[in-house]
Amino acid sequence: MTGRWWFGAALVVALSLSSQGRTASSAPLANFEAALTQLAKELADQNLPVVQRLEIVRVLAGWGTPEVRAPLLAALKDPSDEIRASAAAALGAPDHREAAPALRELAESPQEPALVKAGALEALGSIGDASSRPLLVGATRHTDARVRQAVLKSLAFGPLADPADRVTYLIQLAEDGALQQLLRCDALREVSNVSEDRVVDALIRILENEPRFAMALPEGGGSPQQIMEIRRIQARDVAAWAAEGLGHLKAKRASALLMRTAEDRSDFFLRLVSLRSLILLELPDARPVFVRLLEDAVPDVRMWALIGLGQLADRTAVGAVKGRLTDGSPLVRTQAVKTLALLGDATVRPVLEDLQKRETDSNVQFAVEEALTKLPR
């Protein structure tokens, strides 16, 4: 068995390398008929470990030509749920339109587990055959999250998406807490371009009810690996992207909620996004929040709080802004100077002139020079 597997693995590598840079319409079948035949034989061999057979399905899916359809269709009858599900998903391409009847049969079979149904429905959504759309629509309320995710993804983003009901499915996808967070955030960013009351209502519900990420910045800026992990989490922070959408839509009825989330201590990204949304709403009532956030542990939050105070044009905030001229972050000091130039009068000039004498950061120095040209003497 080991020898057979290594032969199959060698064919996998050969196919993977040979398929790079070729279009689906020009597959060199003359050179690889034997390889495809052997892969099909290996895939059907139930004595091989499932994990190895799944690797063959993955390669056939990547090969993507009509010639691989036959072994994948045969695998839809495999005793392994994982193989059937994987083979079904591998058929999800427009070139495999002829596989749609077999996939529909799989999706409609009461004997098939949710894992397999999800693979078949995902493939039908990717194929884009309009006759399959009612089947996908009927599965949007399925009890299994894998099935819901497969069909909602297709109806919201795939070739079966219809402008008549796309917003409905984007909202359902964004609100379903059992689905992948990254996909939900994609739906949030997309639906936030739709200025409708039902969208605002959904974003408010999500922001109110979504669990928070316990996300904090590492000391000293963090290593590249730590920064990458933070970016990964941010891309999946559902509550934060809901807050972003409310600002983008200028949903003033969400202002009280955004003022609360702007001071959420557990998730700095949620604080930052909520703060930026408050700035977009141009709310004088947000002034106390901006002032308190001048003491936030995250420099970006302090910087945006200064921007918010500058936008409000409230000169009573000058004292609080002056306090940021000694901030440990040059980014924050630079913005403090810019905000003072917006809010201040001649009384601010001596403060900035004193800063000019002792400041070592070039960006802050440039901001001071700019400010001094604008302030009255």
In a domain, 106, yes or no: yes
Instruction: Give yes or no: residues 226 and 96 share one domain.
Output: no
In a domain, 120, yes or no: yes
Which residue range forms the structural domain that includes residue 249?
163-281
Instruction: Give yes or no: residues 311 and 260 share one domain.
Output: no
Instruction: Give the type of residue at 281.
Output: L
Instruction: Give yes or no: residues 309 and 361 share one domain.
Output: yes
CA angle 96, 97, 103 (to 5 degrees): 85
Q: What is the DSSP letter of 365?
A: H
Instruction: Give yes or no: residues 37 and 133 share one domain.
Output: yes
Instruction: Give yes or no: residues 236 and 148 share one domain.
Output: no
In a domain, 190, yes or no: yes
Instruction: Give yes or no: residues 143 and 210 share one domain.
Output: no
**Domain endpoint, select from 136, 154, 172:** 154
What angle in degrees, to the nearest 10, is found between the helix axes of 268-281 and 238-248?
Answer: 10
Instruction: Give yes or no: residues 277 and 179 share one domain.
Output: yes
In a domain, 20, yes or no: no
Rg, Å, the chain Cα set? 28
Among 187, 159, 160, smallest CA distance to 173 is for 187
Instruction: Give yes or no: residues 145 and 167 share one domain.
Output: no
Among 285, 284, 257, smallest CA distance to 273 is for 257
Per-residue pLDDT of the chain (377 residues; tens, 9 = 90+): 434 333 344 344 444 434 444 344 444 445 567 888 889 999 999 999 999 999 999 999 987 778 899 999 999 999 999 999 999 999 999 889 999 999 999 999 999 999 999 999 999 999 998 999 999 999 999 999 999 999 999 999 999 999 999 999 999 999 999 999 999 999 999 999 999 999 999 999 999 999 988 766 666 666 778 778 888 889 999 999 999 999 999 999 999 999 999 999 889 899 999 999 999 999 999 999 999 999 999 999 999 999 999 999 989 999 999 999 999 999 999 999 999 999 988 889 999 999 999 999 999 999 999 999 988 87
What angle in degrees, to the nearest 10, is found between the helix axes of 2-19 and 50-63?
Answer: 20
Give how far the C-alpha of residue 166 lies from the chain's centroid of Cα atoms, to the nearest Å. Answer: 18
Among 109, 55, 131, smallest CA distance to 86 is for 55
In a domain, 27, yes or no: no
In a domain, 18, yes or no: no
In a domain, 24, yes or no: no
d(CA 199, CA 169) in angstroms, rounded, equals: 11
**Domain endpoint, select from 114, 132, 154:** 154
Residue 9: the pLDDT is 41
Instruction: Give yes or no: residues 310 and 358 share one domain.
Output: yes
What is the pTM assigned to this prediction? 0.85
Residue 81: the pLDDT is 97
**Domain endpoint, select from 132, 154, 176:** 154
Tokens, residue 24: 């689906």
Instruction: Give yes or no: residues 317 and 174 share one domain.
Output: no
In a domain, 17, yes or no: no
C-beta of residue 62 within 8 angstroms of C-beta of residue 21: no
d(CA 121, CA 129) in angstroms, rounded, equals: 11
Instruction: Give yes or no: residues 100 and 2 share one domain.
Output: yes
The neighbour count for residue 321, using CB atoms within 10 Å, is 26
Instruction: Give the type of residue at 204.
Output: I
**Domain of 358: which CATH number?**
1.25.10.10
Into how many domains does the chain fold?
A: 3
41-77 residue pLDDT tens: 999 999 999 999 999 999 999 877 788 999 999 999 9
Instruction: Give yes or no: residues 203 and 341 share one domain.
Output: no
C-beta of residue 271 within 8 angstroms of C-beta of residue 261: yes
